[in-house]
Amino acid sequence: MENRAVYMTGLNKMEIREIEVPIPKEKEVLVKLEYVGICGSDVHYLEHGRIGDFIVNGDFILGHECAGTIAAVGSGVKNLKVGDKVALEPGCTCGQCEFCKTGRYNLCPDVEFLATPPYDGCLMNYIAFPENMAFKLPDNVSTKEGALVEPLAVGLHAAAQGGVKLGDKVVILGAGCIGLVTLLACKAFGATNVIVVDVIEKRLEYAKKLGASCVVNAKNENVLDKIAELTGGNGADKVIETAGSEITIKQTPYLAKRGGTIVLVGLASKDIIEFDFMQIMAKEVEIKSVFRYRNLYPAAIGAIADGKIDVSGIVTHEFDFKDSKKAFDFVIENKNDVVKAVIKI
């Protein structure tokens, strides 16, 4: 067994290094990783060295969307065995705090999340990981699909936070990876009319392919007028913001129906944004937000296995492990074309 990891060694710098194969502790499994997805956050760390207060300090391993096959198990592992395919949920939480104990573990202040400084990510051959954060993939779910469970979980959490249900009309702002997995999640939750807005035609084409009822290019149309027209002047039951732009965040109050819900997923580059609260008050609109996800890996894997959600259409590019640097360069240079790139380990 040989282990190598891709290290970020500075801004836009990467190199592959030999590292030790970790020995799984009592309740850990050793996973031979097969696919790691490249997330917007990985790219952001590589280009800028930080996201908010999380600052890359020294050499750092990126990657948190991953799946692979179990190569060894610790002595206390009960439910998984060598040869099982698993998807890893990247946030290990304390299990003790108020948030963990009430099942809202995504809010745990002591979370250790892969590729969030100071914790290294998983762009490597072998990782040791807690058994309870490794979720078994059924035979008919590939490890490539397994690596997409992480972004899908964000979309599922967005739909869950919005209470999306059968028959809902939903507007999704942004058709990047997160917008598209949110589309898949809303459809799986029963939304019957999902309108997706973006400024890049190619991304809107993906949205159409993945089941959007209607797409709006904000470059060519007035979004507020168009959505009003498409919703009979009423607005949408649920408005989910995944673009992370000031413009789209500001649009949300006007797009929601009376009594509707806004779900904020996108992270804007600015902390404070002017927002029309009079619209919110007059329409009694609820505002929800999303921080990653919780308790959703089993549901996500079940939905993929059952064919309720097809994530395979999200992957637009695939690279080999040895070409990891090329992969990141490509993603940076072709941001409009790449929805999700994955690295085959």
**Helix or strand (DSSP H, E) at 305:** helix 297-305
Which residues from 10-39 bind Zn ion, rule CB under 5 A? 39
Smallest distance, ligand NAD to C-beta of residue 282, A:
24
List 11, 82, 224, 247, residue binding ligand NAD (CB under 6 A): 247
Question: Per-residue x/- mask for ligand NAD, residues 290 to 319, rule CB under 6 A?
Answer: xxx---------------------------
- What sign does the CA torsion over 158, 192, 175, 275 have? negative
List 46, 177, 194, 196, residue binding ligand NAD (CB under 6 A): 177
Smallest distance, ligand NAD to C-beta of residue 173, A:
5
The yes or no reply on residue 170 touching ligand NAD (CB under 6 A) is no
Residue 190, classed as helix, strand or coil, is coil
CB 262 within 8 A of CB 287: yes
Smallest distance, Zn ion to C-beta of residue 224, A:
30
Which partner from the list Zn ion, ligand NAD, none does 171 bind, CB cut-off 5 to 8 Å by kind?
Answer: none
Nearest 5°: the CA angle 294, 300, 303 is: 150
Residue 260 CA to residue 258 CA, distance in Å, equals 5
If the CB atoms of residues 63 and 260 are measured against Zn ion, the closer one turns out to be 63
Residue 101 CA to residue 331 CA, distance in Å, equals 39
Residue 18 CA to residue 238 CA, distance in Å, equals 48
If the CB atoms of residues 49 and 163 are measured against Zn ion, the closer one turns out to be 49
Residue 205 CA to residue 23 CA, distance in Å, equals 46
Residue 219 CA to residue 73 CA, distance in Å, equals 53
Smallest distance, ligand NAD to C-beta of residue 247, A:
4
Question: Per-residue x/- mask for Zn ion, residues 96 to 115, rule CB under 5 A?
Answer: -x--x-------x-------
Residues that bind ligand NAD (CB under 6 A): 40, 154, 173-179, 197-200, 203, 218, 242-245, 247-248, 265-267, 290-292
